[in-house]
Amino acid sequence: MACARNLLLGLNVPNKKPGEPLVEWAEALHQELPNVDLCVHYSLKHQRSQGEDAVEKFVGFCQKAESVGVARILLVTGPRGPRKDTPHVLEKLARSPRRQSALGSVRLGVAFNACLPTEQERVEEQRRLVRILKTGLVKDVWLNLGSDVRLLEEGISFVRAAAAEFMDSSSDVQILGSVLLPNPAQLKQMRERPWGGVHLGEEYLSSLAGMKRCTQSILKLYGSEGVQPLVESKVRNEEDICSLENLLQSLRHV
């Protein structure tokens, strides 16, 4: 599996449920892969605790994560998460210079869903992002998985325009975009048990060939727009590595 390291720019440690030893997992990965960029996800839904200040807890987590080699933290609210959501936590953090300085050099990221099904939902998502960018704390914007290339392109344009308007230096903001490795198991999962907030079109879900076409179109868009692809599928063997390498060829021909 050593050849897979040539394809890696970074690794993500997702926060799927309460009580996960995220920092310990990240420390083990950093020891094994010291030159790979590590991002740990922090879900406000799963990190809730009675009587503890959400901002103070998040700052403490960032400090511990940075101390073991974590470069980035993705802050998300989570499906049906708390009322004190990502914009609220970042706005409160922005009002506290002491807490900001305690973050150190870790890069903060947030998720942005450009492929929500209605215009009203997309406008509300844009308003949330503007609130977040106004804090000046976020350096990474992660595009949720979606198959509508037009909406993804509009989302990328919105992120760049909002960063230029509300941040000191929009060039500091990096956009990352989620894709899946097309295979029968992943297609079956998205048909039968799709992830929350993920919206995939008829062509994508109709067949493996459709999934491949849509994914290649998305990767071509990301390549032309300078968006870093984030592959969220499992890569477990040599066959998966070959499929991943072939998929990423889409970026090399832009």
Per-residue pLDDT tens for 197-219? 899 999 999 999 999 999 999 99
Average pLDDT of the residues of the chain:
89
pLDDT of 116 above 70 = yes
Q: Which residue has the higher pLDDT, 36 or 245?
A: 36
Asked if CATH classification 3.30.365.10 holds for the domain at 2-178+227-233, the reply, yes or no, is: no
Lowest mean per-residue pLDDT among 105-109, 114-118, 173-177, 230-234: 230-234
Per-residue pLDDT tens for 17-42? 999 999 999 999 999 889 889 999 99
pLDDT of 1 above 60 = no
DSSP for the chain, please give it: -GGGGGG-SEEEE---STT--HHHHHHHHHHH-TTSEEEEEEETTTT--TT--HHHHHHHHHHHHHHTT--EEEEE--TT--SS-HHHHHHHHHT-HHHHHHTTTPEEEEEE-TT-SSHHHHHHHHHHHHHHHHTT-EEEEEEPPB--HHHHHHHHHHHHHHHHHHSS-GGG-EEEEEE----HHHHHHHHHSPPTT-B--HHHHH-HHHHHHHHHHHHHHHHHHTPEEEE-S---SHHHHHHHHHHHHHHHT-
Residue 56: per-residue pLDDT: 92
Q: Which residue has the higher pLDDT, 192 or 171?
A: 192
pLDDT of 251 above 60 = no
pLDDT cut 90: percent of the chain above it: 68
Entry pTM: 0.89
Residue 2: per-residue pLDDT: 45
